Amino acid sequence: MQSIVILISGSGSNMQAIIRAAKAENWAKHYNACITSVISNRPGATGLAWAQSQGIATQIVDHKTFTERQEFDMTLREAIDAHKPSLVVLAGFMRILGADFVAHYAGRMLNIHPSLLPAFTGLHTHQRAIDAGCRFAGATVHRVTPVLDEGEILAQAVVPVLIGDNESTLAARVLTQEHLIYPAAIRALLK
C-alpha cells in the first residue's frame, strides 16, 4: 500500500480536498494508496480535528519547541518516516524545510503554491500579481526542491484577475482551483 503523509499548519483546506478525493475515488482500491497521517507544526491547527474526524491519524511536531531548525527537521522526518511514505504532501505547511530534509524525500515531496510558477515565489503572491498588473493568476503543484518554489511543475490552474480584485477575492478564486488540481496531480503520480 502506498502511504501518503500530509503536512499542514492551519485549517488544511487542501488537505481536506485531497482526503475527500481519496475517499470518493477509492484510492485504496484503484491506486493501492491511502493517507496514513496528517502532521502539523502548529498545535492549534484546526485541520487536525477534521483529519481525526475522517479516521486519519494525526500528530503535532511543534516547531516552537526546538531551538535549532535542524532538530525540528530531524524530529519531523522521524514522524513522517514512521509511515514509510511514498508521497509527502505539503498542504499549507508554512515552514521552509532544510536541504537535507528535502533531499531525504527527493522526488516524493509535493507542494502547492498560489501563483503560476515561476512567477511570484514566496509569500504575498496574490497582492504581488495584482500590483504587477497581471491579467491572470493561478496555482501550481510542484515537486519540492531545496530552492523555494522551483521544483518540477506537475500541474497548474489559471484564473483571471478581475477589475476590482483585491488580495482576498483573488485568493479565494485561486483556492477553488487548488482544491481541484492538487488531488488530480497526486492521482496522476499514484497511477
Contact between residue 61 and residue 75 where contact means Cβ atoms under 8 Å apart = yes
Q: Which residue in 59, 135, 62 sits closest to 95, CA to CA?
A: 62
| DSSP per residue, the chain | -EEEEEEESSS-HHHHHHHHHHHHTTHHHHHSEEEEEEEESSTT-THHHHHHHTT-EEEE--GGG-SSHHHHHHHHHHHHHTT--SEEEESS---PPPHHHHHHTTTTEEEEESS-TTSS-SS-HHHHHHHTT-SEEEEEEEE--SSTT-SPEEEEEEEEPPTT--HHHHHHHHHHHHHHHHHHHHHHHH-
Q: Taking CA 64 as the corner, what is the angle to CA 55 and CA 77, rounded to the nearest 5 degrees?
A: 55
Of 63, 113, 142, 179, the active-site residue reads 113
179 counts as catalytic: no
- Active-site positions read 113
